[in-house]
Amino acid sequence: MIDIEAVKAAIATVAGARATVRLEGARLGIVLDATGLDPKARDALEATVRMAATAPGVAEVRIALTAERSTRRLIAVASGKGGVGKSTLSANLAIALSRAGRRVGLVDADIYGPSQPRLMGVEGTRPTAKDKVLDPVPTPYGVPLLSMGQLVEPGRALAWRGPMAAGALGQLVEADWGAVDTLVLDLPPGTGDVQLTMVQKYRPTGAVIVSTPQDLALIDARRAIDLFEKAGVPIIGLVENMAGYVCPHCGESSDPFGNGGAEAAAAELGIPFLGRVPLTIALRTASDAGKPPAADPGDTVFAPLAARLVAWLKTL
């Protein structure tokens, strides 16, 4: 005779409310809720439950793992052209979102200049893989990262054609992101095939468009917006980067390209304006040193942008 109450108690001791136990003849069926556990924790829980289920008379233990359907949100950060600070914004936004309470991961899909390993202070670290599924690299800022720069030699991915690049980029998105609920995707600059394939295949929840004041002729931003609209991906809004110049000596802000253009431009494009990031030497040197300013407790630039994103995510 199996003492089912004793078995249930033993399983409850190690799995709490996560386990539902049923006895069918001499077979024990256990449904284990693994919601929010990373693969290591899931394996460990399964093993301890299996041990706890070993009791006189039990011929077989069957464990079925379940998890609540993942509601991971993919946020694409895009720009119509290179060099506008898309990578800098992606890194800092990811950190600011994490500080705002989201569980954030960062994918650097920029085949032309994968710069996230340097920005996030983990240059030279390679991800491991289990059964061909990549394991993101932890960073000092609590935001795990996968980057094309960790997979190929600098410059090599550049030669890839659309489908090949998109295939490789897929490995980054489909990695083992565990408990991550918000994945920030730093897309390659521009609006070509690689970007379109990525957007169509992974259907980001929303897109953030980055532009600089001097680009506000808007032709490039317009193209980026079209790309997402074609794929049915909502635009979360426009971020103006390198807006105004803050003098490192006197702290005074000047606007070589004029002021207020981006907000007007966003209105003209029919998309929300999310905010501006000033052009500062401190931002560039901190970025080069792998110390993103959003990680600084005194950050007042990226936190408001993240707050707007969090508010947008809450409306879904």
Nearer to ligand ATP, 86 or 223 (CB): 86
Contact residues: ligand ATP, CB under 6 A: 79, 82-88, 110, 113, 115, 189, 241-242, 277, 279-280, 283-284, 287
- State the first-to-last Cα distance of the chain, in angstroms, to the nearest integer: 52
The type of residue at 316 is L
Nearer to ligand ATP, 15 or 236 (CB): 236
Nearer to ligand ATP, 28 or 242 (CB): 242
Residue 201, annotated as binding a ligand: no
Shortest spacing between CB 125 and ligand ATP, in angstroms:
19
Shortest spacing between CB 290 and ligand ATP, in angstroms:
11
Nearer to ligand ATP, 7 or 190 (CB): 190
262 phi and psi angles, rounded to 5 deg: -70, -40
* Alpha carbon 199 to chain centroid, angstroms: 14
Positive or negative, the CA dihedral 291, 303, 177, 160 is negative
Question: Tokens 């000047």 appear where?
Answer: 254
153 phi and psi angles, rounded to 5 deg: -65, 145
Residue 79, annotated as binding a ligand: no
Residue 83, annotated as binding a ligand: yes
Shortest spacing between CB 147 and ligand ATP, in angstroms:
12
Shortest spacing between CB 33 and ligand ATP, in angstroms:
40
Rounded Cα distance, 39 and 111, in Å? 29
Residue 190, annotated as binding a ligand: no
Residue 81, annotated as binding a ligand: yes
Shortest spacing between CB 172 and ligand ATP, in angstroms:
15
Residue 230, annotated as binding a ligand: no
Residue 82, annotated as binding a ligand: yes
**Those residues with Cβ within 8 angstroms of residue 4's Cβ, 6 or more apart along the chain or in another chain:** 21, 23
Rounded Cα distance, 263 and 47, in Å? 56
Nearer to ligand ATP, 264 or 281 (CB): 281
3-state helix, strand, coil in the chain (%, to 5): 40, 25, 40
Binding residues for ATP: 80-87
Binding residues: 80-87
